[in-house]
């Protein structure tokens, strides 16, 4: 249920959020925490998985699932709960656009 909600939330925001954020801030500062482990531009740092190029809706839904403990995580639940919906949308927009 929550997963579906998260995806639909992103679709609602998704129409305008990425371009608006990109105009103001090419790399959202909220995404800078992620690259510390997931690699420069989210390209992965073995064994920490690559997140660059994943669909934005998937990144949003996974972060929400971690935050709500619907997806068990070693560490991501503790992290995801620190980010607002707007942060998560910005993070997803950034990493989905990376190659």
Q: What gap in Å lies between CA 74 and CA 77, rounded to an integer?
A: 7
- Give, as ranges, the residues between 55 and 84 that touch other proteins (CB under 8 A): 74-75, 78-83
The CB-of-20 to other proteins minimum distance in angstroms stands at: 15
Distance CA 45, CA 24 (A): 29
23 binds other proteins (CB under 8 A): no
- Which of residues 7, 27, 57, 97 is near other proteins by CB under 8 A? 27
2 binds other proteins (CB under 8 A): no
- 49 torsion bin: left (phi>0), alpha (psi -120 to 50), beta (else): beta
Member of 6, 13, 14, 35 binding other proteins (CB under 8 A): 35
Q: Which long-range contacts (CB under 8 A, 24 or more apart) does 39-46 make?
A: 41/95, 41/98, 41/99, 42/94, 42/95, 42/98, 43/98
36 in contact with other proteins (CB under 8 A): yes
> Residue numbers of the site for other proteins (CB under 8 A)?
25-27, 29-30, 32-33, 35-40, 45-48, 74-75, 78-83, 87
């Amino acid at each position: 249920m929550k997963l579906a909600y998260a995806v639909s939330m992103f679709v609602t925001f998704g129409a305008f959020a990425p371009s608006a954020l990109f105009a103001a801030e090419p790399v959202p500062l909220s995404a800078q925490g992620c690259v510390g482990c997931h690699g420069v531009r989210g390209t992965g740092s073995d064994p920490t998985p690559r997140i660059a190029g994943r669909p934005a809706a998937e990144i949003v839904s996974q972060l929400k699932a971690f935050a709500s403990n619907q997806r068990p995580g070693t560490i991501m639940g503790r992290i995801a709960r620190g980010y607002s919906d707007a942060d998560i949308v910005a993070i997803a927009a950034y990493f989905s656009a990376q190659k």
